Amino acid sequence: MSLLKKHLSEKIESWRPRTRKLLKEYGDVKVGEVSISQVIGGARGVKCLTTDISYLDPFEGIRFRGYTIPETLEKLPKVPGSEMPYVEGFFYLLLTGEIPGNEDVKDVAEEFNKRQHVPKYVFDVIRTLPKDSHPMVMFSTAILSLERESEFVKEYSAGLSKMDLWKPTYEDAMNLLAKLPQIAAFIYRYKYKDDEIIKPDTSLDLGGNFAHMMGIDKPYDEVARLYFILHSDHESGNVSAHTGHLVASALSDVYYSISAMIGGLAGPLHGLANEEVLRWIQGVMEKMGGKIPTEEEMKKFVWDTLNSGQVIPGFGHAVLRKTDPRYQAQRDFCLKHLPDDPIFKFVDVLYKVTPPILQEQGKAKNPWPNVDAQSGVIQWHYGLTEYDYYTVLFGVGRAFGVLANIIWDRALGYPIERPKSITTAMLEEVAGIKK
């Protein structure tokens, strides 16, 4: 058994009594109330999910296992010669809540290397799709096609105790995570680089190997590490994390749930916003004949978009009420590595003019930029200009967080999810509306 699985097993055993006690002795204690606006409004702010993997404070932003983004980047073991941590070590942190030592990181890296082989049929499945299919369709389909590999399905049908459900789930999660970078890189090379596929180099860490398979030189390996870590988790209620959790709650295996998670991430109000940001910027650039707009010119473009009833992609958030620290971390990277990049300058002007305009318009509860406002700039700078691919990168990162959650969901015996719906007439009755 790997060090990680053994350690996780001990953690789970010691955690279970906490959940059991809450349920058994405090099950009737109220956590909050639900208003009609929350019932109609997408359950915004309703506290009805539990996770210990990450927590999102509206004003501080995300903490992974209690650590802010700068703390996470600082404390985790670094890839030699690199400023960024190992993604492998970050996954150890997500799963166990502890900063790993070098041996722990090595153990996770070995586990991923052992499991990285992608069966040929997965690539064949991708190739059967029309080449102009969206990369997220290719990604979701490829993941779903792997479902026949599920250890969970085999063990469940042979008869598995509820206490052990997490064990084959862990195996499936590790198998899938080990393969995702290669599948994602394959989609990129197949779709945009004349099918010139680059074989993995397992002597590299996960981020380094991904950059290698994408065919993009250093420091893109640093970008990959940063990107996967930043996009991994944002507590449980966002569409992709919630979809993954919801599907898994029916005891569907992780191939079904991560494929579905990718579908949720592919929406323009969620992960696809990183593609939308670049599309919006390119549209403005075209109108400006390639010149960076002045603040006054940019204001006009922002107002034009709002007045035509569209959203400004990359701005706003359902929970955050300040600039997203994931935006900030990427901005810091840009300031260090690409301060003169024209698109970075463009996004900077956008950052100056958009929040006051959204405030003046008075609709968005959060006028500040989110993770997606900045991420495409970095990709574009390193030559990844095919912006409809960007959300696949988000998907690889998000899978680390969602799979850590699903393993723990199973370990703590969280039940099938089933909120209650009521009719409009019932809501009117609750509101005391006379007919």
Task: Give the residue numbers marked as catalytic.
Answer: 270, 317, 372
Nearest residue to 350 (alpha-carbon basis) of 332, 337, 331, 365? 331
Tokens at residue 435, please?
A: 């007919």
Task: Find the binding residues for ligand CMX in span 53-82 (CB under 6 A).
Answer: none
Q: Which of 51, 145, 209, 370 binds ligand CMX (CB under 6 A)?
A: 370
Listed in order, strand segments (DSSP E) in 77-229 are none
Helix/strand/coil for 39? helix
Q: Which of 318, 347, 407, 411 binds ligand CMX (CB under 6 A)?
A: 318
User: Nearer to ligand CMX by C-beta: 8 or 306?
Assistant: 306
Q: Which of 85, 168, 244, 271 binds ligand CMX (CB under 6 A)?
A: 271
CB atoms < 10 A from the CB of 304, how many? 12
* Residue 302 binds to ligand CMX (criterion: CB under 6 A): no
Q: Which of 178, 224, 312, 377 binds ligand CMX (CB under 6 A)?
A: 312
Which stretch, 175-183, 220-228, 267-275, 418-426, contacts ligand CMX (CB under 6 A)?
267-275
Contact 262, 146 (CB under 8 A): no
Task: Find the binding residues for ligand CMX in span 141-200 (CB under 6 A).
Answer: none
Contact 183, 135 (CB under 8 A): no
Least distance between ligand CMX and beta carbon 354 (Å) = 8
Q: Which of 117, 127, 321, 365 binds ligand CMX (CB under 6 A)?
A: 365
Least distance between ligand CMX and beta carbon 7 (Å) = 32
Cα–Cα distance, 374 to 134 (Å, whole number):
22
* Residue 315 binds to ligand CMX (criterion: CB under 6 A): yes
| Residues whose CB is less than 8 angstroms from the CB of residue 422 and which lie 6 or more positions away in sequence, other chains included | 39
Cα–Cα distance, 217 to 257 (Å, whole number):
33
Which stretch, 96-104, 254-262, 266-274, 289-297, contacts ligand CMX (CB under 6 A)?
266-274
| Residues whose CB is less than 8 angstroms from the CB of residue 319 and which lie 6 or more positions away in sequence, other chains included | 45, 56, 58, 235, 237
Phi, psi of 227 (to 5 degrees): -65, -45
User: Nearer to ligand CMX by C-beta: 182 or 370?
Assistant: 370
* Residue 278 binds to ligand CMX (criterion: CB under 6 A): no
User: Nearer to ligand CMX by C-beta: 113 or 366?
Assistant: 366
* Residue 317 binds to ligand CMX (criterion: CB under 6 A): yes
Task: Find the binding residues for ligand CMX in span 217-246 (CB under 6 A).
Answer: 238
Tokens at residue 202, please?
A: 């397992």
CB atoms < 10 A from the CB of 226, how many? 26
Cα–Cα distance, 359 to 151 (Å, whole number):
51
* Residue 39 binds to ligand CMX (criterion: CB under 6 A): no
Tokens at residue 113, please?
A: 């290397």
Q: Over the Cα atoms of the chain, what is R_g?
A: 22
* Residue 364 binds to ligand CMX (criterion: CB under 6 A): yes
The kind and range of the H/E element at 152 are helix 151-158
Least distance between ligand CMX and beta carbon 48 (Å) = 17
Contact 408, 53 (CB under 8 A): yes
Site string for ligand CMX, 392-431 (x = CB under 6 A): ----------------------------------------
Which stretch, 88-96, 152-160, 162-170, 308-316, contacts ligand CMX (CB under 6 A)?
308-316
- Identify the DSSP state of 147: G
Which stretch, 78-86, 134-142, 253-261, 264-272, contacts ligand CMX (CB under 6 A)?
264-272
Amino acid identity for residue 348 in this structure? D
Question: Count residues contacting ligand CMX (CB under 6 A)?
Answer: 22
Least distance between ligand CMX and beta carbon 372 (Å) = 5
Least distance between ligand CMX and beta carbon 291 (Å) = 24
* Residue 314 binds to ligand CMX (criterion: CB under 6 A): yes
| Residues whose CB is less than 8 angstroms from the CB of residue 242 and which lie 6 or more positions away in sequence, other chains included | 49, 236, 264
Cα–Cα distance, 239 to 196 (Å, whole number):
34
Q: Which residues bind ligand CMX (CB under 6 A)?
A: 44, 238, 269-271, 273, 306, 311-318, 363-366, 370-372
